[in-house]
Chains A and B, each alone.
Chain A
């Protein structure tokens, strides 16, 4: 029996956090060089929903991972071959 890979879900979670942070840093770096209504509208039009979408995905991912870990513990063969 090959159980699912918890590490793959952890990897998705870490990548999502890391990639968003890298983008957020880049966005912050534009703050000094791009300051006008267009920037504010750009943020409103294209970036407003993204943090909430990613937060929700992370929360669901953590919840699913916890459930999967419990399932794997419950269904493991602790006695092994007899």
Chain B
């Protein structure tokens, strides 16, 4: 096998980079899953809960305002017409609010479906990233560990054979060549 490694330091740096990338991709994969779950929780639970509450509130207000309007119409004379007109406008506004709440509740269902559809491939992609981070990259780091050990052993032996020096910092040109 042809071999050519000129610097142990560069391989050590690569080994550190591989391990760092593995750690960071593990974190990113974890965060991605968390954010996807959070979004699904929001659209399936928190948003409908909010709009159900708003709908209930608006419906109560509507009933109260309609009751007030009805009793005023039954009791007041023509001079109080501006008051009833104001109440009628208020009823229309609250009725619109009830309608908006109902539409938003329908939209919650629609967007839940859309986000579920988008979350599936995202979670699959995050799992693939995690698989790389937890399986492939550690294997790569192990291989680099073995290579570094071989280079270090060779660096210890090679100078002793050539100049009787005792340096660990020597960097072999070809670690795949068996030491003499």
| Among candidates A1, A37, A42, A74, residue contacting B140 with C-beta atoms closer than 8 Å | A42
Instruction: Point out the residues of chain B lying under 8 angstroms from A15, CB to CB.
Output: 24, 27-28
Q: How many residues of A contact B (CB 8 A)?
A: 50
Q: How many residues of B contact A (CB 8 A)?
A: 62
Contact A79 B100 (CB under 8 A): yes
Interface of A: prevailing SS: helix
Smallest Cβ-Cβ distance to A27: which chain B residue: B14
| Among candidates B54, B94, B132, B143, residue contacting A49 with C-beta atoms closer than 8 Å | B132
Instruction: Point out the residues of chain B lying under 8 angstroms from A70, CB to CB.
Output: 111, 114
In whole angstroms, what is the CA distance A34 to B27 when docked?
30
Given contacts A34-B4, A79-B97, A82-B94, contact A67 B114 (CB under 8 A): yes
Interface of B: prevailing SS: helix
In whole angstroms, what is the CA distance A64 to B136 when docked?
26
20 contacts between A and B (CB under 8 A): A4-B39, A5-B38, A9-B32, A26-B13, A33-B5, A33-B6, A36-B2, A38-B1, A45-B139, A45-B140, A46-B139, A46-B140, A50-B137, A57-B32, A57-B125, A64-B122, A67-B115, A68-B39, A70-B114, A71-B39
Interface residues of A (CB under 8 A from B): 1-5, 8-9, 11-12, 15-16, 19-20, 22-23, 26-27, 29-30, 32-38, 42, 45-47, 49-50, 53-54, 56-57, 59-61, 63-64, 67-68, 70-71, 74-75, 77, 79, 82
